[in-house]
Amino acid sequence: MSHKQGFRVELAPDEQQQASLGHHCGLSRVVENFCLETVRKKWSQRAAEESYGITGENLTKVPWSAPALEREWRAAHPRRYPWFAENRLSSRIPKEACRVRAAGFSNYLKSRKGDRRGPTMGFPVWRKRKHGSRFRYDADRAKPLGSRTVRLPAIGDVATREDMSWLTDRMATGRARILGATVREQAGRWWISFQLEIDRDDINERHQTDDDAPACGIDLGLKTFAVIKNSDGRSEEIHAPKPLKAALRALNRANRKLARSAEGSNNRARARRRVGQLHLRVADRRRDFLHKTTTRLTRTKSAIAVETLNVRGMVRNRRLARAISDAGFAEFVRQLTYKADWYGSTLWKADRWFPSSKTCGDCGRINRALVLADRTWICPGCGGIHDRDDNAAGNLLDAMLSDTSG
């Protein structure tokens, strides 16, 4: 059975290759902005024509699709961007940049019509250098040549800092196929992420959840990242490293130094790189914690019950927004979802309005007066004393068992 999976390794380019990587990032940004500019102009022109009473085939066509945007780029770049051909940059980068913009336009139009689930999507915005340096290859244009080398079109053979035998062995036997690759820079370091279609049945079978593994309910929170209540009666608490909170003092100091440095100076470049390194460390610590936690849970629990959190709404609380973002609740549930499918576990998501914290685990009465500050409460119906998080985890577990048995 094939699965979609990502595989990321860090690159070790030389100075010339780093410069070429930077040029391709700039090319991708220029093409995306060209597509945005073209659509805006032609959409405005079409609206003006409609106001004049022009209809049908006489109206200006707006290039919403990727092929239409590619045609616009091919027609315009010899005149507007002659450096594209002069520097011999890869022709695959504009193709993928047009696809990225076309996907953004499609999401916006579907969201506007109500045909897209999830939050409302706004119109794509102008892409700036500060938004990140990245570009993308389609299919297997970028591919590993060996366990320590990646071939990138128009750039060359770039060494990697990590071994890729896990991927190259599966590609050699036909168990993995590259669907695309994204190259990204952060804090002066470069990574390539391969999007794969891979047969990982051997890995999944080796780590399948035991038949007698317990089910569990998980209550997510800020003070304690996760309180787990198992069906065998055991409880467990998981504490997050809170990487952003731990790095705030260093980040504040680095940002002050960046603000005080002169524009365009070497000191400013070093200060900007230091800020990027700190943010990278925060992201890496959070990612490491979430991956290790979700992998352990999906390999040791037969079924997992979690609450459906409105994270977008939760971060509107300015007093808790930083702590909620630092925890990574949405990414935690996302990883649980696909890893449960890999390892044979079951993920059950409660309804968003399920009162897991307010329901008494003994008598089932809902305590409407419970507020966020109440960490321990007494049920007004049966007099039971409840720890808020442990009670919520138990209620999620009971609701899942009741729903699945029914």
Contact in structure between 246 and 252 (CB atoms under 8 Å): no
Q: What is the C-alpha separation between 190 and 85, in angstroms, rounded? A: 25
Q: What is the amino acid identity at position 23?
A: H
The 10s digit of each residue's pLDDT in 354-379 is 888 888 888 888 888 888 888 888 88
- Per-residue pLDDT at 406 exceeds 80: no
Helix or strand run (H / E) with residue 20? helix 15-51
Q: What is the pLDDT of residues 227-281, one digit of tens each?
A: 999 998 899 999 999 999 999 999 999 999 999 999 989 999 999 999 999 999 9
Which of 105-119, 130-144, 171-185, 360-374 has the weakest average pLDDT? 360-374
**Separation CA 101–CA 136 (nearest Å):** 13
What per-residue confidence (pLDDT) applies to 366? 87
Single-letter amino acid, residue 62: V
In the predicted structure, residue 195 carries a pLDDT above the cut 90: yes
User: In this predicted structure, what is the pLDDT of residue 1?
Assistant: 67
Q: What's the count of helices (H) and strands (E) in the chain, helices before strands?
A: 12, 14
pLDDT confidence of residue 224: 92
Evaluate if residue 382 carries a pLDDT over 80. Answer: yes
Give domain limits for the chain.
Answer: 2-201, 215-405
What pLDDT is recorded for position 152? 95
Q: Token digits for 150? A: 């990646």
Question: Can you give the pLDDT at residue 56?
Answer: 84
**How do residues 41-100 score in pLDDT, each as one tens digit?**
999 999 998 888 888 888 899 999 999 999 999 999 999 999 998 888 999 999 999 999
Provide φ and ψ at 219, rounded to 5°.
-105, 120
pTM: 0.88
pLDDT at res. 358: 86
Phi, psi of 251 (to 5 degrees): -65, -40
Q: What is the mean pLDDT of the chain?
A: 92
Query: What value does the CA radius of gyration of the chain take, rounded to a whole number of Å?
Result: 26
